[in-house]
C-alpha cells in the first residue's frame, strides 16, 4: 500500500454526492499520492465508497475499472448513468464536476441532523477503529469465537455501549474489539454474552430462546486473546446492566 492518507481519501470519497464526479489527479494530490497510487488502492480496498465517481483527465472513464464490491457488478458507465452523469464525446459533463475544495468543505463540515440520520459520523468512526484494529489485513480472528474470517465479516465492537461513553472513548482502540457479524457482535451487544475477569467468554442473563442458548453455550468458557487492563475494565462495565435506559 502506498503511504498516503487513506482515512482522508475515504472521507473525501464519501463526500462526492450523487450526480457529481471528481478528477483522479485532484483527489490524489489532496491525499498525498499520484493518480496511479489511487488506482491500485481502489482495486484492493473494500472501504472506498462510490469509486466510479472518480474520472481521468477532463472526465474520461477508467479503461480498467474494477470495483471491489461483493454485489455491485455495474460497469463504471452504468453506475454513472444511474447517478445522472451526462456524457458527450466520451467525456463527463464538466458542469457536473466537483472540485476538491468543495469536497473538503463537505467532508469537514460539522455534522448536521441529516448526517446523523445517515449515520455518516458513526460510519467514519467505525472505519477508523477497524483500521486501527485490523490494519490492512484481509483476514483476522474474531475476539470472541476465534474464527479467522475475511475482515468484511468483522466489526469494531464497542465494549461499553457507544451511547454510554464520551467522544474520546469512542475513538480509543482499547474500547473496542474485533467481533464477527456471524453472531458474536449481536450476542455481545444484546448482553447475552460478556467477558469475565479471567478473560473467558461468559453467559450473561437468560437467553430468550433455545436457539440463542445454543449459540451462547458454544461460546461460553472460551478464552479470549490478550485481555489488556483497559479492555478488562470495560468488560467489567459491560457486565453491569445499563440502568440509565
Q: Stretches 24-32, 79-87, 132-140, 182-190: which one binds Zn ion (CB under 5 A)?
A: 182-190
Residue 180 contacts Zn ion per CB under 5 A = yes
Instruction: Quote the least distance from Cβ 99 to Zn ion, whole Å.
Output: 21
Which one of 79-87, 169-177, 180-188, 194-202 is the stretch in contact with Zn ion (CB under 5 A)?
180-188
Our CA angle for 53, 58, 59, nearest 5°, is 30
45 binds Zn ion (CB under 5 A): yes
Which of these, 176, 217, 160, lies nearest to 193 by C-alpha position? 217
Question: Which CB atom, from 112 or from 152, has the smaller least distance to Zn ion?
Answer: 152
Residue 184 interacts with Zn ion (CB under 5 A): yes or no: yes
Q: Read off φ and ψ for residue 134, nearest 5 degrees.
A: -115, -15
Instruction: In whole angstroms, give the CA distance from residue 230 to residue 238.
Output: 13
With a CB cutoff of 8 Å and minimum separation 6, the contacts of 199 are 223, 224, 227, 232
Of 43-51, 92-100, 124-132, 235-243, the window that binds Zn ion (rule: CB under 5 A) is 43-51
- Should residue 47 be labelled a site residue for Zn ion when binding is judged by CB under 5 A? yes
* Cα–Cα distance, 182 to 167 (Å, whole number): 28
Residues that bind Zn ion (CB under 5 A): 45, 47-48, 142, 144-145, 180, 184
Amino acid at each position: 500500500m502506498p503511504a498516503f492518507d487513506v482515512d482522508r481519501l475515504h472521507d473525501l470519497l464519501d463526500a462526492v454526492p450523487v450526480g457529481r464526479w471528481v478528477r483522479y489527479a485532484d483527489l490524489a494530490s489532496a491525499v498525498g499520492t499520484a493518480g496511479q497510487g489511487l488506482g491500485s488502492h481502489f482495486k484492493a480496498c473494500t472501504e472506498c465508497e462510490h469509486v466510479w465517481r472518480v474520472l481521468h483527465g477532463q472526465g474520461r472513464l477508467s479503461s480498467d475499472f474494477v470495483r471491489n464490491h461483493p454485489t455491485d457488478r455495474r460497469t463504471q458507465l452504468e453506475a454513472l448513468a444511474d447517478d445522472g452523469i451526462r456524457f458527450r464525446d466520451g467525456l463527463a459533463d464538466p458542469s457536473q464536476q466537483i472540485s476538491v475544495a468543495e469536497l473538503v468543505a463537505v467532508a469537514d463540515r460539522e455534522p448536521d441532523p441529516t448526517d446523523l440520520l445517515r449515520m455518516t459520523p458513526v460510519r467514519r468512526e467505525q472505519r477508523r477503529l477497524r483500521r486501527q484494529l485490523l490494519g490492512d489485513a484481509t483476514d483476522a480472528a474474531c475476539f470472541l469465537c476465534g474464527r479467522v474470517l475475511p475482515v468484511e465479516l468483522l466489526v469494531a465492537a464497542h465494549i461499553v455501549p457507544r451511547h454510554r461513553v464520551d467522544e474520546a472513548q469512542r475513538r480509543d482502540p482499547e474500547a473496542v474489539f474485533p467481533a464477527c457479524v456471524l453472531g458474536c457482535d449481536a450476542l455481545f451487544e444484546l448482553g447475552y454474552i460478556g467477558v469475565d475477569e479471567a478473560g473467558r467468554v461468559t453467559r450473561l442473563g437468560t437467553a430468550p430462546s433455545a436457539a440463542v442458548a445454543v449459540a451462547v453455550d458454544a461460546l461460553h468458557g472460551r478464552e479470549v486473546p490478550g485481555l489488556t487492563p483497559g479492555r478488562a475494565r470495560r468488560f467489567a462495565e459491560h457486565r453491569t446492566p445499563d440502568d440509565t435506559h
